[in-house]
Amino acid sequence: PAAQRTKLAKVINFIGKRVLVHGWIHRLRLQKGKAFIVLRDGTEYIQVLLSGDLAEAYQTSTLTLESTIAVYGTVEKLPEGKTAPQGVELVADYYEIVGLAPSGDEAFTNKVQENADPSLLLDQRHLTLRGETLSSVMKVRASLLRSIRRVYDELSITEVTPPCMVQTQVEGGSTLFSLNYYGQDAYLTQSSQLYLETCLPALGDVYCIQESFRAEKSHTRRHLSEYTHIEAELSFLTFDDLLTHIETVIVKTIQYVLEDPISGPLVRQLHPEFVAPKLPFRRMEYIHALEWLNENGIKNEDGEEFKFGDDIAEAAERKMVDTLNVPILLTRFPVEIKSFYMKKCADDPRVTESVDVLMPTVGEITGGSMRIESLDELVAGFKREGINPEAYYWFIDQRKYGTSPHGGYGLGTERILAWLCKRFTVRDCSLYPRFTGRCRP
C-alpha cells in the first residue's frame, strides 16, 4: 500500500496505516531476530521495530546511533503495559540508510555523562544539542518567545528591530564590546532601550527581542557575553503602572508556556515542582531588602553589614529570594548604583524609580525603570557617569521634541529559562553559549 510521509509528531494520526518517516537513530537495541530503534526527528520520538528479514539483513548490524534512516512501515498502538514514545510502534517493512554515522560520537548525544568535562561538552555543543534535555530546553525557549510575543500582541505593543552595532553605551562602559566600524569606534549593543525610547512618539509602546552583548569578566552561573534580551518601552504611565505591567507580562507568558501542548509537558518534566507565579508579586524596597539581609546575617561584598548605597551582589540576592521563595519586585535603588537614565523618586531624590524582578533559584531576571524626562536632568546624569553626550544627540532630542513620562524594562531570556526549566546555569539555556573565553562552536 501507499505510504503517507509524515513527521514523527504526526505519526499518532496514522494508526493502522502505512507511513514513511525519516529521522536520526536516537537509541538502538539489537536482539536476535529483532532490532528496536528509537527514532528522532526533532518533533518527537518513535519506536521502530525491525523484525524478520529486515533484522537479519547485513546492514542492520552496521547501524549506529545518530545515523539517519528512512523507514516505511505500519503504525501500531502498543498494548497496555508496553511503553514507547507516544504509545505506538512503527512496524517496519522496509528501510534505507541515508547517512551512516561512525560509532563513538553517541556519547555526546544520548548519554551525556553527568560528570563529563563541561568544556569538552561545550566543544561538542552541536552534538549535545541532540540530547533530550538540551533539545527540550530549546523547545521551551521557542515557546517562551512565542508566548511573550502573543502577550505583547494582546497589549497592542509593536515589535521593532533596533541595530546591534551602535556608538552609545547603556549599562556602563566596563562591559562594552568594541569593534572597528570602517575605522570608527563602535560597540555591540548592551541594550536596545535607548532606541526603543525613540520609537515611542512614532509607534507608541514598543518591544524588541534582540541579542545584547556584555563583556562580563567574571564567570558566574547567570552571565553570558551574548544573550537574548526581551525589552519593552511604554509611555504615559506611572512607576506603579510599570510594575503592574511587568508582573502581568511575566504571569501571562508563563501561563501560555504551561498551557502549550508541547512546552507545558516539557516544563513539568524538567521542573516537576515548578510553581506558576501569581499576581500580585511581593513588592520590596531596596532599603527594606538591606534590613532583611542584615537581620539574616548576610554580609555585603566587604564582609560587613549592608549600608545604603551598597550593591546587592548575586549571592546575597539569591539567598534572599530563595529564602522568601516567591517572586519579588525589588524597587527604589540608589542613584549611584543604577544607570544614568533612571528617574529619581519625587519623595526621595537619593533613590530611583527602578525595579529588578527576582525569582527563586536565579535572582534577577528583569531590570527596568522610569526614565528621566527633563533635558537638564539627563545632561546631569551623563556628567555624573562621565559620558560624553555628543553621541547621544538623538536620545537627548527625545526630551526636546515632546518629552513624556515613560519607562521600560529588559528580561533576560536565558535567566527566565533557567528559572522555568530548573537549569543550574544560563549556559544550559542558550543554543551556543558565549561567555568569558568561549566563542565556539
Provide, rounded to whole angstroms, the least separation between the CB of residue 137 and ligand 4AD. Answer: 15
Tell which residue, 309, 374, 297, 312, has the closest CA to residue 341: 374
Query: How many helices and strands, by DSSP H and E, does the chain display?
Result: 12, 19
CA distance to 8, 201, 315, 416, per residue, from 49 (Å): 15, 62, 51, 40
Provide, rounded to whole angstroms, the least separation between the CB of residue 238 and ligand 4AD. Answer: 16
Helical segments of 124-190, H only: 125-128, 132-154
First to last CA, the chain: 45
Distance CA 82, CA 338 (A): 58
One character per residue 213-242, x = contact with Mg ion (rule: CB under 5 A): ------------------------------
Shorter beta-carbon distance to Mg ion: residue 367 or 433: 367
One character per residue 318-357, x = contact with Mg ion (rule: CB under 5 A): ----------------------------------------
Shorter beta-carbon distance to ligand 4AD: residue 41 or 364: 364
Distance CA 441, CA 2 (A): 42
Report residue 276: phi and psi, to 5°.
Answer: -65, 135
Shorter beta-carbon distance to Mg ion: residue 277 or 367: 367
Q: Which region, judged by CB under 5 A, interacts with Mg ion, from 14-22, 256-264, 318-326, 365-373?
A: 365-373
Tell which residue, 422, 411, 330, 354, has the closest CA to residue 136: 422
191 binds, among Mg ion, ligand 4AD, none (CB under 5 to 8 A by kind): ligand 4AD
168 binds, among Mg ion, ligand 4AD, none (CB under 5 to 8 A by kind): none
CA distance to 12, 351, 370, 381, per residue, from 346 (Å): 61, 9, 12, 16
Distance CA 224, CA 232 (A): 21
- Reading the block at residue 351, the C-alpha cell is 533613590
Q: Which region, judged by CB under 5 A, interacts with Mg ion, from 32-40, 147-155, 364-372, 397-405?
A: 364-372
Q: How many CB atoms lie within 10 A of CB 145?
A: 16
Provide, rounded to whole angstroms, the least separation between the CB of residue 356 and Mg ion. Answer: 6
Q: Is 412 in the site for Mg ion (CB under 5 A)?
A: no
Provide, rounded to whole angstroms, the least separation between the CB of residue 360 and Mg ion. Answer: 17
Sheet with strand 184-188: strands edge to edge: 165-166, 184-188, 177-181
411 in Cβ contact with 96 (< 8 Å)? no
Amino acid present at 353:
E
Shorter beta-carbon distance to Mg ion: residue 360 or 367: 367
Tell which residue, 309, 303, 246, has the closest CA to residue 279: 246
Shorter beta-carbon distance to ligand 4AD: residue 63 or 342: 342
Q: Is 320 helix (H, G, I), strand (E, B) or coil?
A: helix
277 binds, among Mg ion, ligand 4AD, none (CB under 5 to 8 A by kind): none
Q: Is 367 in the site for Mg ion (CB under 5 A)?
A: yes
Residue nearest Mg ion (C-beta atom): 367
Provide, rounded to whole angstroms, the least separation between the CB of residue 194 and ligand 4AD. Answer: 8
Q: Is 408 in the site for Mg ion (CB under 5 A)?
A: no
Provide, rounded to whole angstroms, the least separation between the CB of residue 340 and ligand 4AD. Answer: 11
366 binds, among ligand 4AD, Mg ion, none (CB under 5 to 8 A by kind): ligand 4AD
Provide, rounded to whole angstroms, the least separation between the CB of residue 157 and ligand 4AD. Answer: 13
Binding site for ligand 4AD (CB under 6 A): 170-171, 191, 193, 214, 216, 223-224, 227, 229, 231, 364-368, 408-410, 412, 414-415, 426
Shorter beta-carbon distance to Mg ion: residue 367 or 407: 367
Provide, rounded to whole angstroms, the least separation between the CB of residue 101 and ligand 4AD. Answer: 34
Q: How big is the site for Mg ion, counted in residues (CB under 5 A)?
A: 1
263 in Cβ contact with 140 (< 8 Å)? yes
Q: Is 23 in the site for Mg ion (CB under 5 A)?
A: no
Shorter beta-carbon distance to Mg ion: residue 23 or 367: 367
Report residue 247: phi and psi, to 5°.
Answer: -65, -35
What residues make contact with Mg ion under the rule CB under 5 A? 367
